Structure 1
Amino acid sequence: MSWDQQQNPYQQQGYGYDYNPNPYGGQQQYAQQPYPQQQQYVDYGYTPAADQTAPLPPVAEPEPAPEQEPAPGAEEPQPEPAPASGPAAASGPAPASGPAPDPRSKPAGRDRYFDTLRAVALIRVVTYHTFGWAWCGMVFPSMGIMFGLAGTLMAKSLERPALKVVKSRLRRLLPPFWFWGVFVVLAMLIHDWMPGWQIVYWVVPLGDPPGNAWGEQAWEILWYLRTYLWFVLLSPALLWLFRKAPIPVLLGSLAPILVLNFVWSGPDNRLGSALWDLSTYLFCWILGFAHRDGVLQRMKPALVVVASLAAVAYGGWYAFAHQADFGTYDLDENPLAQAFWSAGFVMLLMWAKAYFKIDFAWLARFRRLDRTVTVFNARAVTIYLWHEIALILAVPLIDQMWNVPAFEKWLPLDSQWFMFGVGWILIAVFIVVCGWVEDVAAKKKPRLLP
């Protein structure tokens, strides 16, 4: 939410992707709200895609899309097992047998474990925005997971020149945002919105883009793009600092949220909103660095497990102990609880990935499921930006179904589950109609489906 609508700096907009029209002052219902119950924006993501690369060349590959691995998805790993003999000879020292057939050892391969986490996070985004279940954030803290994945992919990308990496990330993030923003801004202008100079944040969202209450349900989710953009810009310096002192920097990344929560709440403006969001998910982003650099692998398993469970326990305790302050135990309304719960949860996921060498390679045996995960990752930005509009449009569409006697008799038109299903159908339409923008941003041939 834009800073000029905030009331309580301890309740920041969109901690998670939970939609809350008044995140600083407790929940509030809007007359234009189409949902049967209060909606909240939870941390869901999109998260954008990260590290989309060309199939085999590990150096000349194009830069990754925000928050998602190589967008071509399953298309890239598939051709790789074949080059075990012919291309192996052309690549010099690589043997024609042995490790060569394993696509997971190739830089251009995809990590299906990360892909699956990202896909589940996006599904959880839509689920929360449909039903508003407060416990969703504890079952699967999507935003913390998405920032953790983005952090490790950013560390991987920064093996190349930092300026090129940052420019490439901006190129992949901003065009889909601009395309989506044209429709939202025009709709708000039609509904009596008159922007000031702050409209520049609709060009580069370094601060919360402004908007009116009519379109708030659509633009409220942009806090995530703003936070991700700042992390991308800060990553070269953060990664340099992390590699100087990995463990102290990782532990110290929880200090900013403690300071904001107990010492100084920050300025009551766009900068203050950005500080809260950055502080909430800083540990998860740095944790991505730790995973990429092998720091988690070198730590003692007992220490990692105990530290993770302690962080989760503190975050859960703080959420339930302060229900009276925030009006709910929902993590997305409580930045400190969100920070610690996500920190412990994501650390366990990252450590398990490294320690047990989880790769979800078995996913390829289930072609439809593997294909679905591929589409979710290649169209993560599209799903994140358009899913709320899909849920909004589902309401008047269902209203029209009441006029058809057969639909009224046989379909559960008054069920949120039915709206959930209709919302996914509309999301699929947006993937086909609008997803090509992600291909254009990645300098690829536009396709209806990746």
Structure 2
Amino acid sequence: MRRLRQLAERTPAGRERYVDLLRALAITVVVLGHWSVTVVGRDAAGQATGHSALGDLRWAYPLTWLAQVMPVFFLVGGYANAASLTRLRARGGDAAGWLVDRSARLVRPTSTLLLVLTAAAAAAWLLGAAPTQVREVFWFATIPLWFLVAYLAAVALTPPMYALHRRLGLAVPLALVAVVGLGDLGRLTGPEQLSYGNYLFGWLAVHQLGFAWHDAHAGPSPAGPTGPPQAATDATGQTAPPQAATEAAGPSTPDRPGVRRRRLPTSRRAGLVFLAGGLGAVLLLTALGPWPVAMLKVPDERLDNAAPPSLALLAVAAGQLGLILLLRGPAERLLRHRRPWQLVIGVNLVVLTVFLWHLSAVILLIGVLDVVGTLPTPAVDTAAWWAWRVPWVLLLSVVLVVLVAIFGPVEARSSRHRTGRRTPRGTPARTALAVAGYAAVVAGLLVNSATPQRAAEPLGTPVPALVAYLAGAGVLRLLRSGWGTRG
């Protein structure tokens, strides 16, 4: 609590606290959503199994328009990545240095998860568990990595995409939406593989809106054009160097000479337009168009709005952006109070750890209850099932708190960046290694996520995927130690 109080007290007046609140709320919605729709049953052999209840709760499909918060993650991520990139460049760093710096917060907690799960999978296999069963449990625990693959790709593409944003502004996400539409057309009329590009283009479109939000929030520093810059903080409240404070607090980012860009409107009126337009578009696409109403995966549905992102999901993202703009004022007033802001900082210190481990908490709780013979398996949408939701979520919260207490310090330590000195520029070899390291990490996670749920994998994940990931993570760690810099 003392550290949170210190971080809260060091927060500059110009910080966009609302971004951090949105990140904390989004992770809370993801965790509670996954836990709430989990159905535990038993297969023919009497083994405990799980699946989503959405297939039996059709009345809840419109609620997924709010529960599907991955667009919020990418919107907030775009904002934070734009802020941190400009901040590092103000210290004299380059794009490769930014990628290496960013990898600490994202890759270290992910590596911890994969190493622990792989060790547990190997132990289970050696003790006699079937490789298909090992893979099924591993697959369920690593479902969050589907999202991380797309987000890591967006992070790696931030330097060139932000440069494109600085030149073309809102034309970039609009073009990406058009490409998503072409992918949707391919999915409906041709091989499904024609839409696979939407896994990247759809989330990049929302990520670009985060860039635009950062620029829209940009303005003169609180001290004025002639006053001294104030200290800034990063997404977890860590103090940034004074020379970068104007970037973190929202600097003006003038267009290139001779280039006119339209900024993202963020007024209350704009919020209403985004909300009404997004809702209207999603109603047309789902009621009159071919897309399902649910924005989350529904068992046995042929089409999935999120895998890959569809035009319907992007319409929901537009509506969510409108709601975010409308709620900004009340939220910012709330965050001026110390205790709410401390809570937001605390969640953000371990936000990725919470996300990565929340399904492992489900596996652990099911295993413990099954061993002691007290695992309830009520049918979906019955009174017993609904009554079990409250103790179920409370018990899972306890398990997750324990997991975060154990593994959260890895992420919290990763957020403590060096400050107050100029970041050295890297060599061409260092740049190439940074790109190769990120590519290997993304490829390893992608292969794991694409491997069938019931594949025979004694380690839970394909060995080439694990090797590629660990090699990439090792390269990035080597670069973070300072190898390949000059100056």
Query: What range is the shorter-chain TM-score in?
Result: 0.5 to 0.7
Q: Distance in 1 between matches of 2:326 and 2:97?
A: 30
* Aligned residue number for residue 131 of structure 1: 36
Query: Do the aligned partners of residues 260 and 182 (structure 1) sit closer, same or farther apart at CA in structure 2, a change above 3 Å counting?
Result: same
Root mean square deviation, CA, Å? 3.5
* Aligned residue number for residue 427 of structure 1: 400
Q: Which amino acid in structure 2 is aligned with residue 251 of structure 1?
A: L
Tell me which protein shows more helix as a share of its residues. 2
Q: Deviations over 1:30-50 (max 9, x none)?
A: xxxxxxxxxxxxxxxxxxxxx
* Aligned residue number for residue 13 of structure 2: 104
Q: Which amino acid in structure 2 is aligned with residue 330 of structure 1?
A: M
Work out which of the residue numbers 408, 429, 439 in structure 1 matches 2:412: 439
Is the 1:148–1:288 contact (alpha carbons within 8 Å) kept by the matching residues of 2? yes
* Aligned residue number for residue 280 of structure 1: 202
Q: Deviations over 1:290-343 (max 9, x none)?
A: 1111165657865663354223322244235568x75x6334531322122113
* Identical pairs, percent: 23
- Other structure's SS at 2:13 match: helix
Q: Distance in 1 between matches of 2:331 and 2:98?
A: 25
Work out which of the residue numbers 267, 272, 295 in structure 2 matches 1:305: 272
* Alpha-carbon offset, residue 376 of structure 1: 1.2
Query: Do the aligned partners of residues 217 and 343 (structure 1) sit closer, same or farther apart at CA in structure 2, a change above 3 Å counting?
Result: same
* Alpha-carbon offset, residue 256 of structure 1: 2.2
- Asked if residue 314 in structure 1 is aligned to residue 314 in structure 2, the reply is no
Query: Do the aligned partners of residues 298 and 118 (structure 1) sit closer, same or farther apart at CA in structure 2, a change above 3 Å counting?
Result: closer
Work out which of the residue numbers 294, 300, 313 in structure 2 matches 1:329: 294
Is the 2:170–2:209 contact (alpha carbons within 8 Å) kept by the matching residues of 1? no
Q: Which amino acid in structure 1 is aligned with residue 114 of structure 2?
A: G
Larger radius of gyration: 2
* Aligned residue number for residue 381 of structure 2: none
* Alpha-carbon offset, residue 399 of structure 1: 4.4
- Asked if residue 261 in structure 1 is aligned to residue 170 in structure 2, the reply is no
- Other structure's SS at 1:158 match: helix
* Aligned residue number for residue 441 of structure 2: none
Structure with bigger RCO (C-alpha 8 Å, 6+ apart): 2
* Alpha-carbon offset, residue 280 of structure 1: 2.4
Is the 1:155–1:289 contact (alpha carbons within 8 Å) kept by the matching residues of 2? yes
* Alpha-carbon offset, residue 284 of structure 1: 1.4
Q: Distance in 2 between matches of 1:221 and 1:313?
A: 30
Is the 2:277–2:319 contact (alpha carbons within 8 Å) kept by the matching residues of 1? yes
Q: TM-score, normalised by structure 1?
A: 0.62
Is the 1:398–1:413 contact (alpha carbons within 8 Å) kept by the matching residues of 2? no
Work out which of the residue numbers 117, 122, 127 in structure 2 matches 1:189: 122
Q: After the TM superposition, which residues 170-181 of structure 1 pair with which residues of structure 2 at under 5 Å, given as runs?
A: 170-181=103-114
Work out which of the residue numbers 3, 6, 9 in structure 2 matches 1:78: 9
Query: Do the aligned partners of residues 360 and 377 (structure 1) sit closer, same or farther apart at CA in structure 2, a change above 3 Å counting?
Result: same
- Other structure's SS at 1:310 match: helix
Q: After the TM superposition, which residues 122-271 of structure 1 pair with which residues of structure 2 at under 5 Å, given as runs?
A: 122-132=27-37, 134-159=61-86, 160=89, 161-192=94-125, 212-263=135-186
Q: Distance in 1 between matches of 2:369 and 2:283?
A: 38
- Other structure's SS at 2:153 match: helix
- Asked if residue 346 in structure 1 is aligned to residue 321 in structure 2, the reply is yes
* Aligned residue number for residue 374 of structure 1: 345
Q: Distance in 2 between matches of 1:73 and 1:228?
A: 27
Q: Which amino acid in structure 2 is aligned with residue 118 of structure 1?
A: R
* Alpha-carbon offset, residue 444 of structure 1: 7.0
- Other structure's SS at 1:329 match: coil
Query: Do the aligned partners of residues 235 and 412 (structure 1) sit closer, same or farther apart at CA in structure 2, a change above 3 Å counting?
Result: closer
Query: Gaps (5+ residues) in structure 2?
Result: 38-53, 55-60, 127-133, 217-261, 298-303, 376-383, 419-487
Q: Which amino acid in structure 2 is aligned with residue 329 of structure 1?
A: A
Q: Distance in 2 between matches of 1:183 and 1:75?
A: 33
Q: Distance in 1 between matches of 2:162 and 2:110?
A: 26
Query: Do the aligned partners of residues 104 and 412 (structure 1) sit closer, same or farther apart at CA in structure 2, a change above 3 Å counting?
Result: same
Query: Do the aligned partners of residues 318 and 223 (structure 1) sit closer, same or farther apart at CA in structure 2, a change above 3 Å counting?
Result: same
* Alpha-carbon offset, residue 401 of structure 1: 6.6
Q: After the TM superposition, which residues 403-418 of structure 1 pair with which residues of structure 2 at under 5 Å, given as runs?
A: 415-418=388-391
Q: Which amino acid in structure 1 is aligned with residue 13 of structure 2?
A: R
Query: Do the aligned partners of residues 312 and 75 (structure 1) sit closer, same or farther apart at CA in structure 2, a change above 3 Å counting?
Result: farther
Query: Gaps (5+ residues) in structure 1?
Result: 1-71, 81-102, 194-210, 405-410, 446-450
- Other structure's SS at 2:157 match: helix
Q: Distance in 1 between matches of 2:112 and 2:120?
A: 13
- Other structure's SS at 2:142 match: helix
Q: Distance in 1 between matches of 2:123 and 2:373?
A: 28
Q: Distance in 1 between matches of 2:145 and 2:101?
A: 20
Q: Deviations over 1:400-426 (max 9, x none)?
A: 67669xxxxxx9997022111111111
Is the 1:313–1:341 contact (alpha carbons within 8 Å) kept by the matching residues of 2? no
Aligned length: 317
Q: Distance in 1 between matches of 2:187 and 2:388?
A: 44
Q: Distance in 2 between matches of 1:419 and 1:117?
A: 25
- Asked if residue 387 in structure 1 is aligned to residue 361 in structure 2, the reply is no
Q: Distance in 1 between matches of 2:386 and 2:268?
A: 50
Q: Deviations over 1:3-43 (max 9, x none)?
A: xxxxxxxxxxxxxxxxxxxxxxxxxxxxxxxxxxxxxxxxx
Q: Distance in 1 between matches of 2:322 and 2:157?
A: 21
Work out which of the residue numbers 324, 345, 365 in structure 1 matches 2:337: 365
Query: Do the aligned partners of residues 403 and 77 (structure 1) sit closer, same or farther apart at CA in structure 2, a change above 3 Å counting?
Result: closer
Q: Deviations over 1:102-139 (max 9, x none)?
A: x323xxx4x33222211211111112112225444312
Q: After the TM superposition, which residues 288-303 of structure 1 pair with which residues of structure 2 at under 5 Å, given as runs?
A: 288-294=210-216, 296=263, 302=269
Is the 2:170–2:264 contact (alpha carbons within 8 Å) kept by the matching residues of 1? no
Q: Which amino acid in structure 2 is aligned with residue 156 of structure 1?
A: A
Q: TM-score, normalised by structure 2?
A: 0.57
Query: Do the aligned partners of residues 179 and 113 (structure 1) sit closer, same or farther apart at CA in structure 2, a change above 3 Å counting?
Result: same
Q: Which amino acid in structure 1 is aligned with residue 8 of structure 2?
A: P
Q: Distance in 1 between matches of 2:269 and 2:333?
A: 27
